[in-house]
Amino acid sequence: MISTVELGDFLSHSETKLDFENGVTVFVGQNGAGKSSIIDALTFALFGQHTRKSNKGLIKRGATQGFSKVEFTINGKKYQAVRKIDSKGVLAAKLSEKSDDNTIEIAAGERKQFGESMTNEIEKIIGLDFEKLKIASIVQQGELNSIIKAKPKEFKELLNAVIGIDKLDVASNSMKEAIKEFREKIKEKIGYDDSHIEILLDDLKNQQNELKEAKPQEENLREQNEKLKNELGALRTKFEQDSPKIEKIKQLKLRKQELLDYARDAIKGIQKEISENERKIHDCEGCFQHLGLKNDLESKIEKVDLAINGTQKKIQDLTNEVASLKEKQILAKKLQLKDNKCPVCDSEVEKLNPLFQEEHLKNELILIQKQIDKNKKEQEMYQEKKLEFLQKIQNVRESEAVLKAHSIQNEEELQKIKDNIKQKKSSIQNIPSFSNSSLLEISQIDSHSKFVFENICQLENETKGFDEEEIINLKKLINEKQTNLSIVDQQLGAIKEKISKNEQQVKKLTEVISELKTVKEYMVQLDSIHSNIFSRDGSVATSLRSWALNTISIKASEYLTLLNTKIQRMQLTEKARDINISCYSKKEVLDLESLSGGEQVSVALALRLGMARLLGSSNLNLMILDEPTTHLDEERKKSLVGVLSQLSNISNSELPMQFIIITHDSEIFENSTVEKIYKFQSTEKGSIVTAL
Interval 677-688: pLDDT, tens: 999 999 988 999
Mean pLDDT of 10-23: 91
Residues with Cβ < 8 Å from 565, sequence gap 6 or more? Answer: 599, 602, 603, 636
- pLDDT for position 431: 63
For 232-249, what is each residue's pLDDT tens digit? 898 888 888 777 777 787
Contact call for residues 175 and 526 (beta carbons, < 8 A): yes
- Lay out the sheet containing 65-74: strands in order across: 13-19, 2-10, 65-74, 77-86, 91-98, 103-108
Lowest mean pLDDT segment, chosen from 298-307, 337-346, 380-389: 337-346
Between residues 173 and 505, which one has the greater pLDDT?
Answer: 505
The pTM (predicted TM-score) of the whole model is 0.47
Q: Report CA dihedral (600, 603, 609, 613) to the nearest 10 degrees.
A: -150
- pLDDT for position 487: 92
Distance CA 570, CA 579 (A): 13
Q: Where are the alpha helices (DSSP H) in 467-568?
A: 468-529, 539-562
pLDDT over 90 percentage in the chain: 19
- pLDDT for position 435: 58
pLDDT over 70 percentage in the chain: 87
For 168-208, what is each residue's pLDDT tens digit? 777 778 888 888 888 889 888 888 888 888 999 999 899 89
Q: Which residues partner with 600 through β-bridges? A: none
Between residues 102 and 342, which one has the greater pLDDT?
Answer: 102
Which CATH class, in words, describes the domain spanning 1-127+621-692?
Answer: alpha beta
Could you tell me where the beta strands, DSSP code E, fall in 189-304?
Answer: none
Mean pLDDT of 508-529: 88
For 26-60, what is each residue's pLDDT tens digit? 999 988 899 989 999 999 999 999 888 888 999 99
Lowest mean pLDDT segment, chosen from 107-121, 262-276, 309-323: 107-121
Please state the domain extents for the chain: 1-127+621-692
Distance CA 502, CA 499 (A): 5
- pLDDT for position 95: 93
Q: Which residues partner with 68 through β-bridges? A: 7, 83
- pLDDT for position 617: 47
- pLDDT for position 199: 92
- pLDDT for position 237: 85
